Structure 1
Amino acid sequence: MSATRGIYTQSQKLMTFVLSMSLYGLATLISELIPSVQVGIVEFSVEFFLFIPLTIAMLFDPLSAALGAATGELVFSEIMLGQFGGIGELEKFLTVTIALYIAGTLVKDPRNMRTVALVSFGCTALQLAMSAGVDICKVAFAVEEFEAVPGLPESVYFTEGFAFVNDLLFSGILFCMLPTMFLVPRLYGKIEPLLGMKPRTPENAPEAPSAKLVIGAVACFAVAVAVACLSEAGFSLIEWEADWAESEAALFAGIAVAAVVAAVAAFWAHRNAQIKAA
């Protein structure tokens, strides 16, 4: 990375995108193998390993890391498993991208443990809140006479609110905030030179979120709500599901492909860095 604030070369952006895509895609497939635990009405399950793209977004280009993670989840945990939800998939793509990109731009000094902790927890809260908001809107707009059905609005708000708090306190802390706090300061200054980049500092960090970014995020969220409602109403366009969808063979094949892509991307990035340093 150059000394100019937030400037990365196209090659560095591509390396960041591919690494984020493959590593997060691999993580989402592995999370499918972890069983959930039910304790009364509370279900403990691993929703995501968001610390992986978060770490990348805090050390490298945030937008490339965010787009890579969203793409990896779509390609490896959906298409590779033999299923595709049509335009409804755009909802998760947008909410993950928004949360990760904003989080990556908020960290100016990755060595600041307090900032890393707050931003990683806030990133999870933002993504889960947007997902809950989309789910509520789907019910509110897709169900005729939403307010007229006794108990329906209250039950939807309670269910989504409870799921939000449960996922935030469990997955948000154990599989996002704590691993990110551990990885970011320890990888800082060690992994960037391997990819031909300079460590992030307050002087060369990406610009902080602006009013333009906030407006863009709100617009993207509105699009996510719209496509989710259209999908719920039956306008999924190219939705499909293969006969082997979610089979163990597809799952392990996806894990193998994601691992190979990650290894090749890491080798390619390291090789490019060595050539530039020579």
Structure 2
Amino acid sequence: MNILILGATGQVGFELLRALSPLGSLIAPTRAQLDLSSPDAVAGVLRAARPALIVNAAAWTAVDAAEAQREAAFRLNAELPAQLACFAAIAGIPVIHYSSDYVYPGDGDAPWREDSPTGPLSVYGQSKLAGDEAVMASGAEHLIFRTSWVYSARGSNFMKTMLRLGQERDSLKVVNDQIGAPTPARLIAEVTALAVYRQRLGRGIEGLYHLAPHGETSWHGFACEIFRRAAESGMALKLTPAQVAAIPGSDYPTPAQRPGNSRLCVDKLEADLGIDLPHWEPQLVLTLGECFA
């Protein structure tokens, strides 16, 4: 079957190319080949690809820039998913879409569940929520994975930034009052592939699910673990965890407000898909290993 993957050059998209390759013929236009900001261009690719499954890993991920570029963020995060889901509904095919912990208000300390009330704090969060709602309202068979703190061995992300700064600086300040679970793009793709395989066996899942590793940490805790594990792997760093100062988010103002609580309950996904999601720390070790291979 033809599987159309949008956003294949991003972190999650790259991992999807590897994970989904045994399950069908992949059609993955690059940014140069497809202008996702153009509804007409997207429509043309949908007609030509004749997909049996759409996997949408394309997204506007520049959280702060979205505050000033609302229209562009909503095009990729809301209008594009709506267009894909509408096509899927008419064609009678499923669509898989990826969402974010930023759709929640970020207060309290209890993990968010799929039925928790939403309340995004930023334009980015608002655009992601609008995309989710459009997919759910489309009538298409759909699977939405809401995840948190995505990173990988390639592209731009928090882990890669920390590795660079760890080689350049002898001190660093990192926020310690925003809590979540760092999620490797590889894990997202692996779970997606399992869900697609189960779907082909007639035992698929449908609807909204949280997808993240077990455990929780702050950005400060994540940074310290990155430096500790990288040093153990032989990477030469100027920084040690002891040289990373913990600061409140109020000391590091950004254009977009970040949620303090990004914890996601994954009970529903584990039960319905029959899996045990791993803890975030071993997943970091695996991802770092890809950097040093």
Establish whether TM, by shorter chain, passes 0.5: no
TM-score by length of 1: 0.29
TM-score by length of 2: 0.28
- Flag the structure with higher helix content: 1
- Flag the structure with higher strand content: 2
